Amino acid sequence: MKADAPNLKLHGTALVADDELSNRVILNALLKKLGYQVIQAVDGADAVEKFRQHSIDIVLMDVMMPVMDGYAATEIIKSETADKFIPVLFLTAMTDDKALARCIEVGGDDFLTKPYNHTVLSAKIQSMERIQNLHQDIRMLYNRMQMDEEIAEQVFSGAVLAGNVVLDQISHLHKPASIFSGDIMLTAYSPSHDLHVLLGDFTGHGLAAALGALPTSEVFRSMTAKGFSPPQILQGINSKLHKMLPTGMFLAAQFVKISASLDYITVFNCGMPDLFVIDGNTRRIKNRLESRSMPLGIIPDSNFQEDAQHIRVGLGDRVLLTTDGVSEARDPTGEYFGSERLITAIEQSGEQAFILDNVSSALDRFCSDAPQDDDITMVELPLLPELLPSWRVDQLLAEQTHVDPNSLLDHDSDSVEFHITLRGMQLRKADPVPLLINYIQEMVGIRTHNQVLFTILTELFINALDHGVLGLDSSLKEGPDGFTRYFEERDRMLSQLNEGSVHIGLRIHPQANGGWIVIQIEDSGPGFDFANATSAQGEKPLFSGRGIQLLSSLCESFSYLEPGNRAEAIYAWTNE
């Protein structure tokens, strides 16, 4: 009885290109034994045409053929299969090194010398099949990785970037070195209507570098919304990243607080390139602020308070933030763009609306077609009213509904009291205002009045700390360098503070249609002669400046008590 022929596994379709019929017949027989369907071509041009007409899995290509040789045909075939591995085995009787090297140079994957040996041919094809299968696995994994990155990028954009504010007034350039960027830009308004901006650069780039962006944005936005100060926000981000980031990974960052009055900015530079403050008219650099702090996530406890840089600014000035991908960008010869070229591009921006446009053009010209090594991010902040919320003091005052404070105090009502005292070193790092706001919300939930209450409590606490405990004189703020001088003296005195205290008491009277809060504050300072401290122009207190005037307008009543180190404010609200 005759045995059945073995079932061969169908491996695909092979293209045999040879101008000699005998060679094609031999290869056809050998390939069919290996489980291939065979398509034959008589020259290089015919091979290219057949390749385009059929789905080919492997090519056996003779070198010397009429019309088009095997070298030219292979170059065309390989150029049309860049996203798929189609092995090409050259068939040649030549044995010199140059000819064989030429086979590899044009894209060939191996070669087979004539006359053909079935065992050698089978081994070479099996080797190509293993490479082909490996290539398919890699391609499948790469496609899956790309899909995962695209999904993650959508989540990243929705969770990190979508929450940013005032992007229509900020000029920013973001060029990631891969799908994912290790650079991050965050913007948010504080309850006092200051603008907080953070530009960060995680170690490396790609998905791994971007993993820290989600917790960073969460801490930044939540703490900014609650009224925490920039040093506290940076400490919160630092603590979070130190717990979650692997060793060797960290976040370099620039943090800018733009005051709601647009007359000064506070800058923290944590391991980033220099930050520039630029005159809005001359385009000359007014301040170049270098790094004073370590990047975030390296050590668990960092004190950012002493690293603050306070700069007086003018209307129309610009603040330029950059990651190190700008200065470390390279041209085709490998030379770095550097800080000097950056400065030149800044000061030669001329009449352009945004300085960043000129810097970006200079960077593009310099880099030309050189590969990008790192993420590139730049942010330009124009110090103009449009950068800040439309909220204004006069608008708030116009919406304020006042009642007779005596009628409030005489009214019998259930009340809740809360007292907090900060002493000595606690005054250096603790900010009680977010805690007090949170407590008020827990008690009565008047979220629509958060901004007003935050303003009142902040003004009271800052006045008690700065002028009561530290004894700072507001006249220090006068002059071009006044803010810098004032805050440097404030930071110096706070760093040495070991005694003194500020006590805050809240008495909340909620009612069905509204209620009122009595805020009392007392500092350990000697007080002042508040009864006689008025100016000749009117009732503006000489000791208070704009802050206490604002308090008097926002509250139902505001008064100082003997001996001048105590104050009481009453704020009332109605339920809409």
Domains and CATH numbers, the chain: 12-137 (3.40.50.2300), 163-387 (3.60.40.10), 393-574 (3.30.565.10)
Q: How far is CA 72 from CA 61, 85, 246, in A?
A: 11, 18, 51
For residues 484-495, give the mean pLDDT: 85
Per-residue confidence (pLDDT) for residue 250, from 0 to 100: 93
Backbone torsions φ then ψ of 33, nearest 5 degrees: -65, -25
- Give the least confident one: 65-74, 81-90, 164-173, 463-472: 81-90
CB atoms within 10 A of CB 485: 16
CA-based torsion, 18, 20, 24, 30: positive or negative: negative
C-beta separation of 534 from 490 below 8 A:
no
Q: Retrieve residue 426's tokens.
A: 């606690």
> Which of 197-211, 239-253, 457-471 has the weakest average pLDDT?
197-211
DSSP code string of 471-487: ---GGGG-STTHHHHHH
3-state SS string over 282-293? CCCEEEEECCCE
Q: Which of 202, 31, 238, 19 is nearest to 126 (CA)?
A: 31
Instruction: Tell me if 50 sits within 8 A of 15, measured CB to CB.
Output: yes
271 φψ region: left (φ > 0), alpha (ψ -120 to 50), beta (else): left
pLDDT value at residue 275: 96
Token pair 């180190």 in the structure block, residue = 565
Amino acid 271: pLDDT: 95
Please tell me the distance from the alpha carbon of residue 509 to that of residue 511, in angstroms, as a whole number: 7
pLDDT at position 209 over 70? no
pLDDT of 3 reads 45
CB 573 within 8 A of CB 449: yes
Is the per-residue pLDDT at 144 higher than 90? no
User: Do the Cβ atoms of 86 and 77 come closer than 8 Å?
Assistant: yes
> Distance between CA atoms of 384 and 163, rounded to whole angstroms?
21
In this predicted structure, the answer to whether residue 438 has a pLDDT above a threshold of 80 is yes
β-pair partners for 110: 89
Confidence band (pLDDT; 50, 70, 90) for 511? Answer: confident
Distance between CA 503 and CA 562 in Å, rounded? 15
Q: State the first-to-last Cα distance of the chain, in angstroms, to the nearest integer.
A: 100
- Give the residue-averaged pLDDT of 263-291: 94
| Secondary element (H or E) of residue 73 | helix 70-79
Are the C-beta atoms of residues 20 and 70 closer than 8 Å to each other? Answer: no
Residues 360-380 have a mean pLDDT of 92
In 3D space, the residue among 199, 373, 195, 385 whose CA is nearest the CA of residue 276 turns out to be 199
Cβ 63 vs Cβ 94: under 8 Å: yes
Mean pLDDT of 89-97: 80
Choose the most confident range, by mean pLDDT, from 155-159, 191-195, 275-279, 436-440: 275-279
- Average pLDDT of every residue of the chain: 84
In angstroms, the CA 241 to CA 229 distance is: 19
Query: What pLDDT is recorded for position 533?
Result: 59
High-pLDDT (> 90) share of the chain, %: 39
Q: Which of 86-100, 185-199, 284-298, 312-326 is least confident?
A: 86-100
Q: Cα Rg for the chain, rounded, in angstroms?
A: 36
Mean pLDDT for the stretch of residues 165-176? 90
Asked if 90 and 116 touch (Cβ cutoff 8 Å), the reply is no
Statement: residue 407 has pLDDT above 60: no
- Higher-pLDDT residue of 477 and 61 is 61
Q: Is 549 a residue whose pLDDT tops 50?
A: yes
pLDDT of residue 540: 40
Q: What is the mean pLDDT of residues 516-522?
A: 91
Residue 188 CA, distance from chain mean position: 13
Among residues 9, 46, 138, the alpha carbon closest in space to that of 85 is found at 138
Q: Decide if pLDDT at 145 tops 60.
A: yes
Alpha helices in 106-197 (DSSP H): 118-156
Q: Which of 56-65, 268-277, 552-561 has the lowest mean pLDDT?
A: 552-561
Q: Distances from the Cα of 574 to the Cαs of 351, 394, 399, 402, 568, in angstroms?
A: 50, 20, 12, 10, 20
